[in-house]
Chain A
Amino acid sequence: MTRATSLTVLVGLSILAASHGCSDIASPARIAGYDWRLVVPYDSAGPREDTLSFHWPRSALPVRIWVEQDQYQVPDRVREGISRWKAAFLYGEWDAVLVADSNTAHVLIRTIEPPSPAAPSAIRFHAQALSCLGATDVDTVASRFQLRVPIRAYVYASVPAASDLTECLRTVAAHELGHTMGLFQHSDSAPDLMFAVPTAEGLTPRDISTVVKAYHYRPDMSPLRP
């Protein structure tokens, strides 16, 4: 036996020894988040509600987002929000890009005060910060198992001269992005980005845990493009 052969046998034995015992990485115990699922009435004959989950399927990634240009650089704030949310994921569960053509977008973000919802069945989430506001309309259409695309969101200045307007728009843009990703409830904890009156600079561990769970929970709704 040559030395190379002996060494090969030795390396083989070392690998066997090294891989003996605990051979799997240990996943972390994830903290409890908040409920993200959409509670939707589904029977006009009685007070019935259904709790439904949605996340963008991998086949739809990256989610295409169109943002209205304005004087407050909301598209830049949305880009920052995309980076924040994307960083929450380990396995590439979600990604998004800004697109120039609103006709091809999965999400439309306008920088005006929201008009009445485009569809009467839409559910609207509001975010209220000090100098800016946001809203997102989610329309589950009649069957409630489909989500009408594009999702419409609004991010706009309510106090245009405010000194903290940029920070406010950054927070509210990220908050509304959270809704467009499938977080269809508000957090009950003030530090979270998805609190109804958001002040968070970034995602909290609860926000991260919630969105990760949302993207590993079997979805009840699929996106529907008219």
Chain B
Amino acid sequence: MRLPATLLALCLPATLSGQARYTATVGLTAGTQLVKDQIFQTVRVGQKLAPTATLGVSLPVSARERAGLEVTFGFGRTRIKESGLPEADGPRYRTLSVTAGVQGPILDRLSLRASAGVLKYLADDSGIFRGGGPLLFLLGGGADFRLPVRGAVGLIARLRYDYQRFSTNALEAAGFSRSQDVHRLGLGLGVEYSP
């Protein structure tokens, strides 16, 4: 924890790095349907639970509130549902997102976060993620529950929600139009460090 924290602190002015709070969490993210297609019958592409890892840094902007950045990497697998055919695993995907947010306490150890950012589906070798996807806008929110452990180190449980309008380069090349509303909900556990 000290090395990433030190590296992140190097990016901040010296006066601010002492007030920074660094977090690292791992967890799982669930999401709504990615694609609905029609080939003889309706084909639905859903998401299986996706492991995610998040790094975050925040700084105080007032006595009660903090502003911060979160970088999240996720990798998951799609699930294909189609009437008359067995349900099956579909293409894998990897995502990278960066969000900026503001958070403030609502209870003693519980804080609320509102955020906006961007998300990218990274290129894969086949299927709907072949060629990756455009940069998607993300709106989200969430809650953090903090549990101080010892000194500058604490534990954190994190709930995150975000919304995106999904499409990929392969889908657009195949003639799909518009985009799909996708809602995701993630739960993460990790540590925080406040030097």
Question: In the complex, what distance in Å separates the CA atom of A157 from the CA atom of B173?
Answer: 36
Question: In the complex, what distance in Å separates the CA atom of A22 from the CA atom of B165?
Answer: 11
Chain B interface: which of A104-112, A136-144, A212-220? A212-220
User: Which residue of A7, A24, A29, A87 contacts B114 across the interface (Cβ within 8 Å)?
Assistant: A7
- B53 beta carbon closer than 8 Å to chain A: no
Known: A91-B127, A216-B39. A5 touches B175 (CB 8 A): no
Main secondary structure of the interface of B (DSSP, over half): strand
- B78 beta carbon closer than 8 Å to chain A: yes
- B40: chain A residues within 8 A (beta carbon): 213, 216-217
- B19 beta carbon closer than 8 Å to chain A: no
- B126: chain A residues within 8 A (beta carbon): 86-87, 89, 92, 95
- B86 beta carbon closer than 8 Å to chain A: yes
- A160 beta carbon closer than 8 Å to chain B: no
Known: A26-B176, A91-B127, A213-B40. A11 touches B114 (CB 8 A): yes
- B158 beta carbon closer than 8 Å to chain A: no
Q: Which of A158-190 contact B (CB under 8 A)?
A: none
Chain B interface: which of A12-20, A66-74, A116-124, A148-156? A12-20
- A51 beta carbon closer than 8 Å to chain B: no
Closest-CB distance, B136 to chain A (whole angstroms): 12
Closest-CB distance, A203 to chain B (whole angstroms): 13
For the A-B complex, the count of residue pairs with Cβ-Cβ distances under 8 Å equals: 123
Number of A residues whose C-beta is below 8 Å from B? 37
- B64: chain A residues within 8 A (beta carbon): 2
Known: A10-B114, A27-B176. A2 touches B106 (CB 8 A): yes
**Smallest CB-CB separation from B114: which chain A residue?**
A7
In the complex, which of the residues B105, B167, B175 has the most CB atoms of chain A within 10 Å of its own CB atom?
A: B175
Question: In the complex, what distance in Å separates the CA atom of A92 from the CA atom of B127?
Answer: 6
- A95: chain B residues within 8 A (beta carbon): 126
Question: In the complex, what distance in Å separates the CA atom of A8 from the CA atom of B128?
Answer: 32
Cβ contact within 8 Å between B62 and A25: no
Cβ contact within 8 Å between B104 and A25: no
Number of B residues whose C-beta is below 8 Å from A? 54
Question: In the complex, what distance in Å separates the CA atom of A92 from the CA atom of B35?
Answer: 14
Cβ contact within 8 Å between A25 and B36: yes
- A46 beta carbon closer than 8 Å to chain B: no
**Smallest CB-CB separation from A217: which chain B residue?**
B40
Q: Which of A1-58 contact B (CB under 8 A)?
A: 2-5, 7-8, 10-12, 14-15, 18-19, 22-30, 57-58
User: Which residue of A5, A91, A213 contacts B91 across the interface (Cβ within 8 Å)?
Assistant: A91
Known: A4-B65, A216-B85. A15 touches B90 (CB 8 A): no
21 contacts between A and B (CB under 8 A): A2-B65, A2-B105, A2-B112, A3-B62, A4-B104, A11-B115, A11-B116, A23-B180, A23-B181, A24-B178, A24-B180, A25-B36, A28-B176, A58-B89, A89-B126, A90-B127, A91-B37, A91-B90, A92-B80, A92-B89, A92-B126
Please list the residues of chain A having a beta carbon within 8 angstroms of any beta carbon in chain B: 2-5, 7-8, 10-12, 14-15, 18-19, 22-30, 57-59, 86-87, 89-92, 95, 212-213, 216-218
